[in-house]
Amino acid sequence: MWATILIAMAPKLAEGATELAAYLISLITKDPVGTQTTPEEWKKLGELYAGRTAEQGLQDAITRAGVPA
Amino acid sequence: MKILKSLFAIALIVTLFGCASSNTQRILYKSTDAFGAVVDKACIAFEDFEVTKAIQALGPQATRQQITEWVHNDPAWKNYAPMKENFNQAYVAWCSVNATLVSSGTNAVSVMTAAQFKQNAITAAVKVTAFIVQFVPSIKTVQP
């Protein structure tokens, strides 16, 4: 009898456990529950650094120093 | 009952692991982003330091061209630039591999390959950051 009840409850228990774990992860990562990283996000992150070459960094630093173009 | 408890505990652990793995990509993305931002901040501090040194050497009326040339000829910059390029390329490649991993699954790019790209990016980051760290006392004293 207990086995039947446990088997019947298992999907709900698993669902609850999953949500609890996702919630705990979201607390740690400060990210909404269930959010997944998309390939576009990775590409954007890569593109951001592709543009941050040493030469570009130097030109940006000169601009920050207030030197006109 | 003991067996059932054990089975339930195993099921719970499996569920938790399953959930954790579905969020792993998000955690990896966050940590990669934060990792890149830390290295980038160090690079920006060094680049500002180089420009400040150039302006102090050339005078406040120095042109953009003069400052660029002065920095290009500075031995510290000559060492820094290839390291920075190396980091950029390794980091971009790592992000690209992760994008492929997310879109195509682990069949397209093996986890081993991704780990190698990650290792390359970390090695490059450590090199450029370690180089910048030796200038920290000077960066602190040189005022823009």
CA dihedral in degrees (B91, B95, B97, B99; nearest 10)?
-170
Does this complex have an ipTM over 0.90?
Answer: no
A9 touches B: beta carbon within 8 Å: no
Contact across the interface for A42 and B28, Cβ inside 8 Å:
no
pLDDT digits (tens, 9 = 90+) for B84-94: 999 999 989 98
- In this structure, of B76-85, B109-118, B134-143, the range with the lowest mean pLDDT score is B109-118
What is the distance of C-alpha A25 from the center of its chain?
A: 11
Q: How far is A39 from B25, CA to CA, in rounded Å?
A: 10
DSSP tag of B109:
S
Contact across the interface for A39 and B103, Cβ inside 8 Å:
yes
User: Mutation test of the interface with chain B: which of A25, A40, A42, A63, choosing the one with the most B Cβ atoms within 10 A?
Assistant: A42
Q: How far is A62 from B58, CA to CA, in rounded Å?
A: 13
Residue B46: which of A22, A44, A23, A52 has the closest Cα?
A: A52
Number of residues assigned to chain B: 144
